[in-house]
Amino acid sequence: MARIVLGLGSSHSPQLSTPPEMWPLHGERDKRNPHLLDTDGKHVSYDELLAKADPALAKEITPEKWQARYAACQKGIAQLAETLARVAPDIAVIIGDDQEELFHEDNMPAVLVYWGESIANDPRRYMESVSPAMRAAAWAYGEEKTYPVVSDLGKHLIESLIDQGFDVAHSRLVKPGQGMGHAFSFVYGRLMNGKTLPMVPIMLNTYYPPNQPTPKRCYDLGRALRHAIEAWNADARVAVIGSGGLSHFVIDEELDQQVIKALQSKDAEAVYALPRHRLNSGTSEIRNWIATAGAVEHLPMTLIDYVPCYRSPAGTGCAMGFAQWC
């Protein structure tokens, strides 16, 4: 039977793959970002954030801090890549969110398993009008190619999750001109050292109300996923990879620490109690970590690093997390 031998959690923000001297440009983008939420989960403008920001944040956005944090992030990514290469699983089950890359308002699934034979990657191509910071990070999201999917496992997961009471949407086709979301392509672009591990993509609608799964549902889904993988009649070693998070585009270190503590201590009740109203916008991707943690509950979690990468005096940025379960 199959078994889960590894779990990984990684942020996938473009900021990770942008030289630190360009981070201020990401900060500039935040001035027009309509998805800024304060720590109460309320929509706010950049100017409102700035007006309330702690002046001490100025110390977080110096070139020296950016350089150090960039280096820490690269070290975190390298560690994940090294672990993945060392453990050498046969299959990666990747849990990520789809940011209207494949799924839109004409059908937004809460939970979806892709079970086609393969899935295309459509690398990011930016026009000149797009921020140079975004263009500089495009390299991190895989090649223009078709990646292999373990269709049998995908179908098995759908069947098993349905048996376990999860209402799983499924897909086996990506329309021409479309490709998998950046949550998935990042794993190929940055964590696999050029290798092409076959995968099963699992998409959670972390972002778009009204059907974002609750933290409880995500953790329970992870547990059910483990049960499903372990019931798969194949001698396969499987890695489960959660892609995204942690808090962004307004960094919420308190929430991140609450999440990390709950996941590290495998405290399901604490996970269930995570505040849903603060799990929106980019921060919503913490759900991918929660589901991953549920799937690898049997393995000890090591936090490789937590790097709050502030990029503006308003406190915007992305808090990067890197963790492994093995």
* Tokens 């100017």, located at residue: 47
Q: Which one, 167 or 235, has the nearer CB to another protein?
A: 167
* Tokens 């960094």, located at residue: 251
Under the criterion CB under 8 A, does residue 151 sit at the interface with another protein?
no
Under the criterion CB under 8 A, does residue 115 sit at the interface with another protein?
yes
Angle among Cα 263, 266, 271 to the nearest 5 degrees reads: 60
Which one of residues 1, 51, 71, 173 is an interface residue with another protein (CB under 8 A)? 173
Q: The tokens of 69 are what? A: 């944090």
Which one of residues 31, 155, 223, 266 is an interface residue with another protein (CB under 8 A)? 155
Query: For residue 12, which amino acid is it?
Result: H
Number of neighbours of residue 268 by Cβ within 10 angstroms: 17
**DSSP state string for 17-65:** GS-GGGHHHHHHHHTT-TT-B-TTS-B--HHHHHHHS-GGGGGGSSHHH
Q: Which one, 110 or 246, has the nearer CB to another protein?
A: 110
Under the criterion CB under 8 A, does residue 158 sit at the interface with another protein?
yes
Among the residue ranges 15-23, 153-161, 187-195, 251-259, the one whose residues contact another protein (CB under 8 A): 153-161
Rounded distance between C-alpha atoms, residue 226 and residue 218, angstroms: 12
Q: Which one, 136 or 169, has the nearer CB to another protein?
A: 169
Among the residue ranges 3-11, 23-31, 88-96, 170-178, the one whose residues contact another protein (CB under 8 A): 170-178
Under the criterion CB under 8 A, does residue 212 sit at the interface with another protein?
yes
- DSSP element (H, E) containing 153: helix 151-163
Rounded distance between C-alpha atoms, residue 23 and residue 16, angstroms: 9
Under the criterion CB under 8 A, does residue 162 sit at the interface with another protein?
yes
Under the criterion CB under 8 A, does residue 223 sit at the interface with another protein?
no
Residues that bind another protein (CB under 8 A): 102-103, 105-112, 115, 155, 158-159, 162-163, 165-175, 209-214, 217
